[in-house]
Amino acid sequence: MLDWLYNIVGWTLARIHEGLTFVGLNPDSGWAWGLSIVLLTVLMRLLMVPLFVKQMNTQRKMQDIQPKIMKLRERYKHDKQRLQQESMKLYQESGTNPIMGCLPLLLQMPVFFALFSVLRSVAEGNAQYGFDEQLAASARQALIFEAPIAAQFNSSSEELIALGSADPIMAKVLIAIACVIMGFTTFLTMRQSIKRSTAQMPDNPMMQTQKIMMYMAPAFGLFGLAMPVGVLLYWVTSNVWTMVQQHFLYRNQPVPGADTAADKGGAKSPSNGSAKGMLGRKKAVESTPEPKEQPKIERKQPKKKSRSKRGGGGSH
């Protein structure tokens, strides 16, 4: 059903390989085929950059309407159907599409499966998906160190030798290392994205689920044991690209409120300017003269005379 996509991916990979051969690389070497897969990954990710920017804008809008969503959840907590209707209405009014948040990943997965199918076909010696017999044989026996491009960890020693590996044990060790790197880089990309999401929506109800998936990410490396080396190379390259891309885009579009928080933090810290200001205020207080004590005003009251004196000197 997806043969048309497999043909596009296989044809593109073959053309990139031709270009690298034209500039002087050995067409049968692991360098030529490995770089072909890396450049195919970079080409695909470049085409998806606008979608990633759209994803970031969607996340920002989702953050803006989050308080309204929380009010709807509180109001219709006993009526999930009405809650869904009102939420979709709010998304439409704000021009937000929640599907855009995961669209880059959804578009990347078909390419991943297409490359997996192309390399599996190469390992089986089939000339299809844009590969002729000579090109398929070249890719089938290309080695990255001692690991054939089309080999898997569960390949037998005989199969690895047939694919051109002189040391099957070392080939399996290299594949295992590639699986570990794949799982670790997957964890780092998810951690970077979740930290951003936490800063945008601290009360996201899906946050706990996302964290569980993040800590399970290293286990994804176990799936790599059943993948060809070329697919592992694709996955690791895609993860590294994602980390670098997210770093620069997140830095250029900081979370709203981050600058304000930084300013508040700076106001609390005793910088030189604030310290000097406090010192100046202290000196001003010290230099202000204390008010002098005002003298008490005593009012002299006339002394009362005795009755005898008031009567004019007494009787004769």
Per-residue confidence band for 161, with pLDDT thresholds at 50, 70 and 90: confident
| Mean pLDDT estimate for the chain | 75
Query: What is the average per-residue pLDDT within 177-202?
Result: 80
Stated as kind and residue range, the H or E segment containing 144 is: strand 143-144
Number of residues that this document lists for the chain: 316
How many CB atoms are closer than 10 A to CB 69? 18
Stated as kind and residue range, the H or E segment containing 106 is: helix 103-123
Query: What is the average per-residue pLDDT within 201-228?
Result: 72
- Tokens 């310290």 found at: 275
Amino acid identity, residue 166?
A
- Tokens 């970031």 found at: 56
Most confident of 85-99, 172-186, 195-209, 290-304: 172-186
Residue 269: per-residue pLDDT = 42
> Higher-confidence residue: 250 or 245?
245
Query: What is the average per-residue pLDDT within 204-233?
Result: 76
Q: Please tell me the pTM assigned to this model.
A: 0.68
> Higher-confidence residue: 227 or 272?
227
Among 47-56, 195-204, 294-303, the range scoring the smallest mean pLDDT is 294-303
Q: In the beta sheet, which residues pair with residue 148?
A: 143
Q: Is the pLDDT assigned to residue 74 strictly greater than 70?
A: yes
Residue 33: per-residue pLDDT = 92
Are 14 and 130 contacting, i.e. CB atoms less than 8 angstroms apart?
yes
Nearest to 110 by CA among 222, 2, 224: 2
Per-residue confidence band for 34, with pLDDT thresholds at 50, 70 and 90: very high
Q: In the beta sheet, which residues pair with residue 143?
A: 148
Rounded-to-integer distance, Cα 60 and Cα 160, Å: 49
Amino acid identity, residue 133?
E
Residue 202: per-residue pLDDT = 59
Q: What share of the chain is helix, strand, coil (3-state, %, to 5)?
A: 70, 0, 25
| Phi–psi pair at 155, nearest 5 degrees | -70, 145
Residue 64: per-residue pLDDT = 75
Cβ burial of 271 (10 Å; 0-12, 13-18, 19+) is exposed
Query: What is the average per-residue pLDDT within 246-268?
Result: 60
Stated as kind and residue range, the H or E segment containing 118 is: helix 103-123
> DSSP string covering 185-237, please?
HHHHHHHHHHHHHHHH-TT-TTHHHHHHHHHHGGGHHHHGGGS-HHHHHHHHH
| Phi–psi pair at 36, nearest 5 degrees | -60, -45
